[in-house]
Amino acid sequence: MLVFLPQKDCNYILSLVHHKIIQAKNDKKYFILIKLDIASAYDSVWRDGLMYKILQLGIKGNAAKWLHNFIQHREFYVFWRNSASTMRSSFRGIPQGSVLSGFLFTTYMMDIFEAMHHKMECLIYADDILLCCSDSNLSSALKYIQFSLNKISQWCDTWKLKIQTEKCEAINFSNFKQTPSSHLKLYEQNIPWTYNIKILGLIFSANLSFKQHFLHLKRATIKRLNAVKAIAANSWGARTTHLLQIVNSTIRSKLEYGYHVFITSSKSEILTIEILYRTALRFATGLPKWTPIPILLKEAGQISLSLRIRMLAERFFLKNLSLGELSPLFHYLRPLTRRLRLRKPVPLSTRLAEQINKLGIDINF
């Protein structure tokens, strides 16, 4: 599976990983995830190799010539303090920020899946690679992963890419104890096991708790709260409407990222980010601390963060379910609309499906 494609964004990968972890726990299997990172991904693309893969796709004629001229013979210079350096030529990489950059990098990475074991799954977003393996036997899962890692290292050597081994991590999401004696190697270096892993900005814990993610959000948001407080002075500060726009774009958006995944967390954990959002609204509106929460939300014209997260998550689930085969998540969400043999965490799709079925609407089609 590869992103930079329609309906395949960060939300897609996060939802897919989350649902696969829950399914593995439900089936009492091991679920091992390996995170790999390509060093200077866009700047390390071998241009001749990229053109070879473009031709392999069947792109020929003037289109191939245009793409060749687009990626070759690129020059750059540095401008600093009204002075420009001499022009330099670039012999590797593809231009960043271009509309074609995603397509070109996707084309360059498209055959990495051939290096995987057939029981492995690979998810790629830009230079982040996630290897997933679910199996009832730990030694078998590790064998499949090590085989894939060896093939990936060979693939990278062939196509002149380098994986940063210092940024690679492994995590075991199963209910069984992790075996410390089992080591996975890449470029003759051990990949360290970890209890918390950051996937596309969302911190997953081995027990599928997001407590560490909320603590990380708290530390990161405090700095932004101080910035809002600084520009919210009574005498010369910004207007309330402008402050609310700043709060929603810089603080609320960060707090609610990954909503469709961490909504399975407990109310006490979600309350951690709810308090941060309320504090930001108090700074923006200038209301004192003892102001009741309903009045604070009314004055700010906002709804509570927990309610908004719930609303966005339900909308995300229903949208993917209504798209049917057009949604890449449909086949993963659909089985979870039936009750699983889990106490916790029960995925949103299962809880929401039960509520919809109570209304007399059958979504188990």
pLDDT one-digit tens code per residue, 213-262: 999 999 999 999 999 988 987 777 788 899 999 999 999 999 999 988 88
Per-residue confidence (pLDDT) for residue 95, from 0 to 100: 86
Please give the structure tokens belonging to residue 110.
């498209």
Q: Rounded CA gap, 212 and 258, in Å?
A: 14
Question: For the chain, what is the largest distance between any 2 Cα atoms, rounded to a whole number of angstroms?
Answer: 71
pTM of the predicted protein model = 0.86
Q: How many CB atoms sit inside 10 A of residue 288's CB?
A: 8
pLDDT digits (tens, 9 = 90+) for 251-274: 999 999 998 888 888 888 899 999
Domain assignments of the chain as residue spans, ordered by start = 2-43+105-205, 47-91, 210-312
Q: Return the ∠ at Cα 36 (arms to 101 and 158), rounded to 5°.
A: 65
The amino acid that residue 228 corresponds to is V
CB 266 within 8 A of CB 206: no
Tell me, letter by letter, the H, E, C secondary structure of 146-194.
HHHHHHHHHHHHHCCCCECHHHCEEEECCCCCCCCCCCEEECCEEECEC
Q: Could you write out the DSSP letters of every residue in 96-121? A: TT-TTHHHHHHHHHGGGGGGS-TT-E
Q: Rounded CA gap, 333 and 310, in Å?
A: 17
CB 51 within 8 A of CB 67: yes
Per-residue confidence (pLDDT) for residue 355, from 0 to 100: 64
Q: Return the ∠ at Cα 202 (arms to 150 and 114), rounded to 5°.
A: 25
Please give the structure tokens belonging to residue 233.
């002075």
Q: Which residues on adjacent β-strands are paired with residue 191?
A: 184
DSSP 8-state code for residue 6? T
Q: Is the N-terminal amide bond of 347 cis, ω within 30° of 0?
A: no
Tell how strand 30-37 and strand 169-172 pair up: antiparallel
Q: Which residues of 249-280 are buried (b: 16+ CB within 10 A; e: fewer)?
A: eebbeebbbbbbbbbbbeeebbebbbebbbbb
Q: Return the ∠ at Cα 176 (arms to 171 and 180), rounded to 5°.
A: 55
Q: Rounded CA gap, 260 and 12, in Å?
A: 10
The amino acid that residue 205 corresponds to is S
Q: Rounded CA gap, 312 and 28, in Å?
A: 30
Per-residue confidence (pLDDT) for residue 351, from 0 to 100: 67
Per-residue confidence (pLDDT) for residue 363, from 0 to 100: 60
Per-residue confidence (pLDDT) for residue 27, from 0 to 100: 83
In this structure, whether the domain defined by 2-43+105-205 belongs to CATH 3.30.2010 is answered with no
Q: Rounded CA gap, 228 and 174, in Å?
A: 41
Report the length, in residues, of the chain: 365
CB 256 within 8 A of CB 245: no
pLDDT by position in tens, the chain (length 365): 555 666 677 888 888 898 888 888 888 889 999 999 898 888 889 999 999 999 998 998 999 999 999 988 888 889 988 898 888 888 888 888 888 888 899 899 988 888 888 889 888 887 789 999 999 888 899 999 999 999 999 999 999 999 998 899 999 988 776 555 678 899 888 999 999 999 999 999 988 889 999 999 999 999 999 999 889 877 777 888 999 999 999 999 999 999 888 888 888 889 999 999 999 999 999 898 899 999 999 999 999 999 999 888 888 888 887 787 777 777 766 655 455 555 555 666 666 666 666 666 666 54
